[in-house]
């Protein structure tokens, strides 16, 4: 059953779905190019591109859930869905970035990123 919602909420939901769909499509195109050419950088940037729109995933899920049930998802679930892939996205991007510009500094950049990610997850984890 579809529930009546404000037109701004409807527009936000529709544009969120559109934005995420286009971005995920572009990310998958990069990953498919990786399979074709074997260039590791395409895989890493594709993963990063998909991960960059991760904060909009809970918006889409909450919008669809609201359309079907009349209620959105809980704040905790919203935050978990929106942040669960951020560490992988950051590591993929740091690896790709250092591969392009600073290959000699990749190891230290990855170590610092992993330390930052670990601290972030420990401090801001909802559990």
What does the pLDDT look like over 13-67, one tens digit per residue? 999 999 999 999 999 999 999 999 999 999 999 999 999 999 999 999 999 998 8
What is the spatial distance between Cα 76 and Cα 30, in angstroms, rounded to a whole number? Answer: 32
Question: What length is written for the chain?
Answer: 127
Q: Which residues does 92 contact at the CB level (< 8 Å), separation at least 6?
A: 44, 45, 47, 48, 51
pTM equals 0.85
Q: Which residues does 68 contact at the CB level (< 8 Å), separation at least 6?
A: 1, 2
Q: What share of the chain is helix, strand, coil (3-state, %, to 5)?
A: 85, 0, 15
Q: Which structure tokens are listed for 65?
A: 């859930």
Q: What is the pLDDT of residue 33?
A: 97
**Average pLDDT for residues 85-106, to the nearest whole number?**
94
Q: What is the pLDDT of residue 22?
A: 98
What is the spatial distance between Cα 66 and Cα 71, in angstroms, rounded to a whole number? Answer: 5
Q: Which structure tokens are listed for 48?
A: 């990063």
Residue 72 has pLDDT above 80, yes or no: yes
pLDDT over 90 percentage in the chain: 75
Q: What is the pLDDT of residue 3?
A: 62
Query: What does pLDDT average to over the chain?
Result: 92
């Amino acid at each position: 059953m579809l529930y009546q919602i404000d037109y701004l909420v409807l527009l936000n939901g529709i544009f969120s779905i559109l934005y995420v769909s286009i971005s995920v499509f572009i990310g998958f195109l990069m990953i498919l190019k990786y399979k074709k050419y074997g260039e590791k950088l395409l895989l890493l940037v594709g993963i990063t591109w998909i991960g960059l729109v991760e904060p909009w995933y809970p918006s889409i899920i909450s919008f669809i859930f609201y359309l079907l049930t009349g209620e959105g998802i809980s704040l905790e679930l919203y935050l978990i869905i929106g942040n669960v892939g951020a560490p992988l996205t950051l590591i993929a991007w740091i690896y790709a970035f250092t591969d392009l510009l600073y290959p000699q500094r990749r190891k230290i950049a990855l170590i610092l990123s992993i330390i930052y990610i670990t601290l972030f997850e420990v401090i801001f984890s909802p559990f």
